[in-house]
Structure 1
Amino acid sequence: MSELPLDAYYDLTQIGEVAVSPAGDRVAFTATEYDQAADEAVSSLFVVPTDGSREPHRLTSASGAASPTWGPDGDRLAFVAARDRDAEKRVGWRDRDDEDAGDAEGDASEDDADDESADGEGEDHLGGDDEPKPQVWIFDLALGGDARQVTERDEGVAGFDWSPDGDRLVIESRDPTDEESEYLDQVREEGGPIETTRLQHKVNGAGWTDDVTRYLFVVDLDDPETDPRRLDDAHGGGAFEDVAGMDPTWGPGDRIAFTSCRLDRPDDTTVRDLYAVSADGGDAERLTGGDLAHGAPAWHPDGDRIATTASDPDDPPAPAEVYLVDAAEGEGDDPDADDRDAPTSVTAALDRTIARGGGVEWVDGSIYTRIADESHTRLVRVETDGSAERVFEAQGRDRAMVGFDIADYGATAVTVLSEPESGTDLYAVDVTDLDAAAEPDSLRRLTSVNESLTDEFPMPEARRVEWESDGWTLDGVLYHGPDVDPDDGDHPLVVAIHGGPMSYDEPVFSFDHAALTSRGYLVFRPNYRGGTSRGREFTAELSGKWGTAEVDDIAAGVESLADRGWVDPDRVFGHGFSYGGIAQGFLVTQEPELFTAAAPEHGIYDLRSAFGTDDTHVWLEAEFGLPWEDPEAYASSTAMLDAGNIETPLLVMAGGEDWRCPPSQSEQLYVAARKQGVDAELVVYPDEHHNIGDPDRAIHRLEKILGWYETHDPAIEAAD
Structure 2
Amino acid sequence: MQTSTQGPDILAGTLCRLVGVKPTSSNITNCPYRNNYAYVLGLPGSVPVQLDAKGAIRLKKARSICAIAFSFTTLGLASDLQAQTPSQAIFTPDDVFRLKTVDDIRISPDGGTIAYQTSDADIMIDASRHAVRMIDVATRRDWLLAEGSSSPRWSPDGRLIAYTSPGAGGRTRVMIAAIKRGAARMVAEIPGSPSEFSWSPDGRTIAFTMFVPEAGPTMQMPVTRPKDATWAAPPRIITGVRYEEDGQGMVAPGHVQLFTLPIAGGTPTQITTAPLDVQNPPSWTPDGSALIYSATNVDTLGANFHISGIYVVPASGGRARIISPSTLSGQMPSVSPDGQSVAFVAWTADGRDYSPSRLYVVDLGGGNLRQIGKSLDRDITSAVWADDGHSIYASYGDRGVDKIGRFPLDNSKITEIAANVTGDFSLSSNETIAYAAARSDRPADVAIQLRGGGSKVLTHRNEGLLAGKLLGIVRPLAVKSSLDGTAVGSWLTLPPRYDARRRYPLILDIHGGPYGYNSPVWSTKDQLYAAAGYVVLHANYRGSTSYGFAFADRIAQDPVGPSYTDLMSAVDAAVETGVADPDRLFVTGGSAGGKLTAWIVGNTTRFKAAVAEKPVINETTSALLSDQYYASELISGTKPWDDPMRFWAMSALSQVAKVATPTMLIVGEEDRRTPISEAKQLYNALTLRRIPTALVLVPGASHSTIGRRPSQAGILAKLTLDWFRQFDR
Q: TM-score, normalised on structure 2? A: 0.81
User: What's the offset of the Cα at 1:246?
Assistant: 5.0
Match of 2:248 in 1: 206
User: What's the offset of the Cα at 1:704?
Assistant: 0.8
Match of 1:484 in 2: 498
**Are 2:286 and 1:252 equivalent residues in the alignment?**
yes
Match of 2:323 in 1: 287
Map residues 236-275 of structure 1 onto 2, 5 A cutoff.
237-238=276-277, 245=279, 247-253=281-287, 254-262=289-297, 265=300, 269-275=305-311
Asked if 2 retains the 8 angstrom alpha-carbon contact of 1:346 and 1:387, the reply is no
Aligned with residue 169 of structure 2, among 103, 115, 121: 121
Match of 2:120 in 1: 33
Aligned with residue 372 of structure 2, among 334, 346, 350: 346
Map residues 250-649 of structure 1 onto 2, 5 A cutoff.
250-253=284-287, 254-262=289-297, 265=300, 269-313=305-349, 314-328=351-365, 340-341=366-367, 343-355=369-381, 358-364=382-388, 365-392=390-417, 395=419, 400-433=420-453, 440=454, 443-469=455-481, 470-471=483-484, 472-485=486-499, 487-591=500-604, 593-624=605-636, 625-649=638-662
User: What's the offset of the Cα at 1:23?
Assistant: 0.6
Which SS does the other structure have where 1:426 is aligned?
strand
- Identify if the C-alpha distance between structure 1 residues 232 and 180 changes in structure 2 by more than 3 Å, giving closer, same or farther: farther
Match of 1:88 in 2: none
CA distance in 2, matches of 1:139, 1:181: 44
Asked if 2 retains the 8 angstrom alpha-carbon contact of 1:404 and 1:413, the reply is no
Q: Deviations over 1:62-108 (max 9, x none)?
A: x3x33321111212111233x13xxxxxxxxxxxxxxxxxxxxxxxx
Which SS does the other structure have where 1:453 is aligned?
helix
RMSD: 2.4
User: What's the offset of the Cα at 1:150?
Assistant: 2.1
Match of 1:165 in 2: 202
- Identical aligned residues as a percent: 25
Q: Which amino acid in the other structure matches residue 174 of structure 2?
A: V
Map residues 203-242 of structure 1 onto 2, 5 A cutoff.
203-222=245-264, 224=265, 226-233=266-273, 235=274, 237-238=276-277
Map residues 55-204 of structure 1 onto 2, 5 A cutoff.
55-61=141-147, 63=148, 65-81=149-165, 83-84=166-167, 120-122=168-170, 133-145=171-183, 147-176=184-213, 193-204=235-246
Q: Which amino acid in the other structure matches residue 362 of structure 2?
A: V
User: What's the offset of the Cα at 1:258?
Assistant: 1.4
Which SS does the other structure have where 2:627 is aligned?
coil
Bigger helix fraction? 1
Q: Deviations over 1:516-553 (max 9, x none)?
A: 11222111101101101111110011124322111111
User: What's the offset of the Cα at 1:482?
Assistant: 4.4
Q: TM-score, normalised on structure 1? A: 0.82
User: What's the offset of the Cα at 1:586?
Assistant: 0.9
- Identify if the C-alpha distance between structure 1 residues 454 and 256 changes in structure 2 by more than 3 Å, giving closer, same or farther: same
Aligned with residue 714 of structure 2, among 693, 696, 699: 699
User: What's the offset of the Cα at 1:250?
Assistant: 2.0
Asked if 2 retains the 8 angstrom alpha-carbon contact of 1:547 and 1:639, the reply is no
Unaligned runs of 5+ in 1: 85-119, 123-132, 329-339, 434-439, 715-720
Which SS does the other structure have where 1:488 is aligned?
coil
- Identify if the C-alpha distance between structure 1 residues 512 and 182 changes in structure 2 by more than 3 Å, giving closer, same or farther: farther
Q: Which amino acid in the other structure matches residue 660 of structure 1?
A: R
- Identify if the C-alpha distance between structure 1 residues 134 and 605 changes in structure 2 by more than 3 Å, giving closer, same or farther: farther
User: What's the offset of the Cα at 1:135?
Assistant: 3.9
Q: Deviations over 1:628-657 (max 9, x none)?
A: 122233222100011111111112100111
User: What's the offset of the Cα at 1:27?
Assistant: 1.1
CA distance in 2, matches of 1:298, 1:523: 40
CA distance in 2, matches of 1:15, 1:247: 20
CA distance in 2, matches of 1:610, 1:135: 39
- Identify if the C-alpha distance between structure 1 residues 67 and 347 changes in structure 2 by more than 3 Å, giving closer, same or farther: farther
User: What's the offset of the Cα at 1:675?
Assistant: 1.3
CA distance in 1, matches of 2:514, 2:336: 34
Map residues 10-49 of structure 1 onto 2, 5 A cutoff.
10-49=97-136
CA distance in 2, matches of 1:173, 1:415: 26
Asked if 1 retains the 8 angstrom alpha-carbon contact of 2:434 and 2:447, the reply is yes
User: What's the offset of the Cα at 1:368?
Assistant: 1.0
Asked if 2 retains the 8 angstrom alpha-carbon contact of 1:588 and 1:646, the reply is yes
- Identify if the C-alpha distance between structure 1 residues 445 and 711 changes in structure 2 by more than 3 Å, giving closer, same or farther: same
Which SS does the other structure have where 2:386 is aligned?
strand
Q: Which amino acid in the other structure matches residue 34 of structure 1?
A: A
CA distance in 1, matches of 2:660, 2:205: 63
Match of 1:127 in 2: none
CA distance in 1, matches of 2:90, 2:518: 24
- Identify if the C-alpha distance between structure 1 residues 236 and 291 changes in structure 2 by more than 3 Å, giving closer, same or farther: farther
Match of 2:26 in 1: none
CA distance in 1, matches of 2:102, 2:299: 40
- Identify if the C-alpha distance between structure 1 residues 587 and 192 changes in structure 2 by more than 3 Å, giving closer, same or farther: farther
Moved more, 288-297 or 644-653: 288-297
Moved more, 173-182 or 33-42: 173-182
Match of 2:60 in 1: none
Q: Deviations over 1:489-514 (max 9, x none)?
A: 32111111111111122210122121
Unaligned runs of 5+ in 2: 1-87, 226-230
Q: Which amino acid in the other structure matches residue 180 of structure 2?
A: A
CA distance in 2, matches of 1:205, 1:182: 28
CA distance in 1, matches of 2:408, 2:630: 33
**Are 2:723 and 1:711 equivalent residues in the alignment?**
no
Match of 1:91 in 2: none
CA distance in 2, matches of 1:192, 1:575: 43
Q: Which amino acid in the other structure matches residue 124 of structure 2?
A: A
Asked if 1 retains the 8 angstrom alpha-carbon contact of 2:291 and 2:314, the reply is yes
Bigger strand fraction? 2
CA distance in 2, matches of 1:632, 1:390: 48
Q: Which amino acid in the other structure matches residue 216 of structure 1?
A: L
CA distance in 2, matches of 1:190, 1:289: 49
Which SS does the other structure have where 2:625 is aligned?
coil
Match of 1:110 in 2: none
Aligned with residue 664 of structure 2, among 651, 662, 667: 651
